[in-house]
Amino acid sequence: MSEKARTIELEVLRYRPEQDSEPLWQRYTVPFTEDMSVLQALQHIKDDIDGTLSFRWSCRMAICGSCGMMINGKPELSCQTFLRDLLPGPVRVEALAHFPIERDLVVSVDGFVKKLEGIQPYIVPKVPRTLEEGEYLQTPAQLAMYEPFSGCINCMLCYAACPQFGLNPDFTGPGVLALLHRYNADSRDGAREQRMATVNAEEGVWSCTAVGYCSEVCPKHVDPAHAVNQNKVNSAKDYFLRWLKPAAAAPSKAGDQP
């Protein structure tokens, strides 16, 4: 209770396209408490020091995926990153790497969402079933095949961590490939063949150079690197199957899933 009035410095990379020709650093001093997150520090700046600082946030509990940013050079959720772990400061905060900055800490999400929309991120039933017939049966083991990859909160930290995405913005990238794998690995789904086109494409899994930093920064332990690797195996199998029996990989045939 009787904590002395301590403070900590934040250096924030500012960019306001209506007035700045290039980004510039701005320094703020904020109160420090043991339980304060970087997000709370930014909120303090916005509320009480400088209302012009722009950033996205909402849930405060690492589930909405809004508040990703670079904190001391590392992609993090600002709500889940605590000032106590960054002492003595200053704490350097900037927009997520590899994305165009719209303003201050706000980056463009459009490219990511377009990629997500492009992979058929929904169940295409392998066996149609009416609602009257009830739910599909899915054992805990079948659930475990895809559930870990369904936990992606679309925070895009893995893209900021991915050197290949930094070089080639067209790379489908870890998060979306993990989501693609989530649907391909779902026992209810029958569209694996169609999605393999994305996997096999030049911007698909083969752009990945297996650095693995994406999985390290994932705040939800989704392990996109593992999803990408599994799809490299699938893609290679797909490639050889095309040579061996070209019809097997055609979308018109039923998939080869167990």
Partner 1 sequence: MAMERFKADVVIVGAGGAGLRAAIAVAEADPRLSVALVSKVYPMRSHTVAAEGGAAAVTQAHDSLEAHFHDTVAGGDWLCEQDVVDFFVEQAHRELVQMEHWGCPWSRMDDGHVNVRAFGGMKIERTWFAADKTGFHMLHTLFQTSIKYPSIRRFDEHFCVDLIIDDGQAQGVLAIDIASGRFTLIQAKAVIIATGGAGRVFRENTNGGIVTGDGMALAYRHGVPLRDMEFVQYHPTCMPGTGLLFTEACRGEGGFLLNKDGYRYLQDYGLGPAEPTPRNKAMELGPRDRLSQAYWHEKQKGRTIDGPHGPVVHLDLRHLGERKLRERLPQIYELAVEYLGVDPAKAPIPVLPAVHYTMGGIVADGRTASSMPGLYSVGECSSVGIHGANRLGSNSLTELLVFGKVAGQEAAARASAVAHGDDAALTALAERSREQALAVVEHGARGTERIATLRREMAQTMEEGCGIYRTGATMQATCDKLAELKQRYRKVHLDDGSRVWNTEWLLAIELGYLLDVAQAMAHSALQRRESRGSHQRLDGYEQRDDLNFLQHSLATHAGDDAPRISYGPVKITRSPPGTRAYGAAGEKAEAERHAQEDKHV
Question: What is the binding site for partner 1 (CB under 8 A)?
Answer: 1, 16-19, 35, 46-48, 50-52, 54-66, 80, 102-104, 106, 109, 113, 116-117, 121-123, 125, 129, 131, 134-140, 142-143, 146-147, 150-151, 153-154, 179, 183, 186, 188-189
Shortest Å distance, C-beta 55 to partner 1: 8
Shortest Å distance, C-beta 166 to partner 1: 22
**CB-wise, 146 or 164, nearer to partner 1?**
146
Shortest Å distance, C-beta 142 to partner 1: 8
**CB-wise, 103 or 232, nearer to partner 1?**
103
**CB-wise, 40 or 207, nearer to partner 1?**
40
Shortest Å distance, C-beta 132 to partner 1: 9
Distance of CA 101 to the CA centre of its chain: 17
Shortest Å distance, C-beta 236 to partner 1: 27
The per-residue DSSP string of 166-221 comes to HH-TTS--HHHHHHHHHHHT-TTB--HHHHHHHHHSTTSGGG-----HHHHH-TT-
How far, in Å, CA of 174 to CA of 152, rounded? 10
Name the residue with tokens 């600082």. 53
Shortest Å distance, C-beta 64 to partner 1: 5
**CB-wise, 73 or 140, nearer to partner 1?**
140
**CB-wise, 137 or 254, nearer to partner 1?**
137
**CB-wise, 64 or 201, nearer to partner 1?**
64
8 Å CB contact between 63 and 51 = no
**CB-wise, 49 or 233, nearer to partner 1?**
49
Picking from 59, 78, 81, the residue whose alpha carbon sits closest to that of residue 67 is: 78
Shortest Å distance, C-beta 122 to partner 1: 5
